[in-house]
């Protein structure tokens, strides 16, 4: 799998050498187009999961009789729908470059990183809402069982495991975004001759 940080470093080296700007510019264009495809695929998956989640959660909210369970499912449905709307707003206009110049491609890449960091922040908020909501829901479902029942432990293990995996994933994506931003800033400085 290609390493974007190494690609950006290679392009910086190309710019430092004499008369190698056209290959570096072509490489940057290919990089932006590849990222466009990856972005479209990831957003399609995200939207599909979000729509399915919103439908399921809305159905659960509508059909449950327990007030606490309805409140939790309604909260999660609203969070899911809010995340879908935010994603649409955040990523609109981020697919196509306004031109074919290297500066335009650099600006598009920079804009995408800003949007990606914004999406990560929203991801942390969504994780917090889900963690609180599911904690309340699991507590309400398990508190009616006998304390010595083995079944009592598994919902908590699942909740802690899933929240931990999501937190590790968001942290890793944040580190990747910082590395990518630094590499892109270096490339921009090289391009502008600073």
Domains in the chain, number: 1
Of all residues in the chain, the percent with pLDDT exceeding 90 is 44
> What integer best gives the mean pLDDT of the chain?
82
**Per-residue pLDDT band at 49 (split at 50, 70, 90):** very high
Range of the domain at 48: 4-192
Cα-Cα-Cα-Cα dihedral sign, residues 53, 54, 55, 60: positive
Residues 6+ positions from 73 with CB-CB distance below 8 Å:
57, 60, 61, 64
Q: Which residue has the tokens 């490339």?
A: 187
Q: What is the mean pLDDT of residues 7-28?
A: 58
Query: What is the gyration radius of the CA atoms in the chain, in angstroms?
Result: 22
Residue 94 pLDDT > 90: no
pLDDT digits (tens, 9 = 90+) for 106-161: 888 888 899 999 999 999 999 999 999 999 988 888 877 655 566 677 888 889 99
């Amino acid at each position: 799998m290609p390493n974007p940080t190494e690609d950006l470093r290679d392009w910086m080296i190309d710019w430092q050498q004499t008369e190698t700007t056209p290959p570096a510019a072509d490489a940057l264009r290919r990089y932006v187009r590849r990222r466009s495809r990856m972005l479209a695929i990831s957003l399609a998956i995200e939207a599909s999961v979000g729509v399915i989640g919103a439908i399921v959660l809305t159905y659960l909210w509508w059909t449950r009789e327990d007030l606490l369970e309805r409140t939790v499912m309604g909260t999660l449905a609203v969070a899911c729908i809010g995340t879908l709307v935010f994603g649409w707003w955040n990523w609109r206009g981020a697919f196509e470059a306004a031109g074919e110049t290297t500066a335009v491609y650099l600006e598009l890449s920079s804009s995408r990183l800003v949007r990606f960091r914004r999406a990560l922040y929203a991801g942390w908020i969504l994780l917090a809402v889900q963690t609180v909501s599911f904690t309340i829901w699991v507590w309400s479902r398990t508190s009616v069982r006998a304390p010595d029942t083995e079944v009592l432990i598994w919902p908590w293990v699942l909740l802690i495991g899933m929240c931990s995996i999501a937190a590790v994933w968001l942290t890793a994506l944040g580190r990747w975004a910082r590395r990518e931003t630094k590499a892109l800033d270096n490339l921009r400085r090289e391009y502008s001759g600073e």
